[in-house]
Amino acid sequence: MLKIGLTGGIASGKSTVLEFFKNKNVPHIDADVVAREVVEVGTPGLAAVHKLFGDEVIRDDGSLNREALGNVVFHNEEKRLQLNDCLHGLIRERIDEIAQFYETQGAPAVIYDIPLLIEGKWYERLDTVWLVYVSPNIQVQRLMERNGYSKEDALARIQSQMLLDDKRFFADIIINNDGTPDELYKQLEKLWHEKLLPLYNK
């Protein structure tokens, strides 16, 4: 089973690319969904977060108060790292479990949609990394148009992530999304026919 890491950045068009392959019935693993799963009521993940941060991050019904937790970790780097350390292993375990399930189902490929694919060194465990790339000026422009941000706000958000130009170094395939939706679609069709369809036709 081919393990594909799909990465991009804010306003790069990664969701559009993922949607294309989902429509081709290529299974994917969404790390954001997994991160929510591992802290559901009754999980070891929630118990660990509770132990670490106390009652203030737990709602009356026993579920995680994400807002309260966010307020704690976003303003405190040490706490944010503690949270990551506490959940990282559980997230990894669950992602491996899902991948294994797809493998037993005979899936020829699976796409890993993981926000910190490079930073978290996930790429080391995958077969190939596909980067959805846009030039910096286009990324700023699209983010301003999409979210109504000022140029300063857009730049601040882009610079809070690993830059796409730095991610190029880790990518085996670069999907350039500087052009029109039609141009993007043509690249994706080519990728599908060259890289994935042969696996499905085996």
User: pLDDT tens, 40-78?
Assistant: 999 999 999 999 999 999 999 999 999 899 888 877 888
Please check whether residue 24 is in contact with residue 192, taking contact to mean a CB–CB distance below 8 angstroms. Answer: yes
pTM of the shown model: 0.88
Percentage of the chain exceeding pLDDT 70: 100
Compute how many other C-beta atoms are within 10 angstroms of the C-beta atom of residue 178.
13
CATH class of 32-106: alpha beta
**Whether the Cβ atoms of residue 118 and residue 161 lie closer than 8 Å to each other:** no
Asked, colleague to colleague, whether 1-27+108-202 and 32-106 share their fold, the answer is yes
Could you read off the pLDDT tens digit of each residue along the chain, which spans 202 residues? 999 999 999 999 999 999 999 999 999 999 999 999 999 999 999 999 999 999 999 999 999 999 899 888 877 888 888 898 889 899 999 999 999 999 999 999 999 999 889 988 999 999 999 999 999 999 999 999 999 999 998 998 888 889 999 999 999 999 999 999 999 999 999 999 999 999 998 7
- Determine whether 97 is exposed, middle or buried from the number of CB atoms within 10 Å of its CB (0-12, 13-18, 19+): exposed
**Domain 1-27+108-202, CATH homologous superfamily name and number:** P-loop containing nucleotide triphosphate hydrolases (3.40.50.300)
Ordered by start, the domain boundaries in the chain are: 1-27+108-202, 32-106
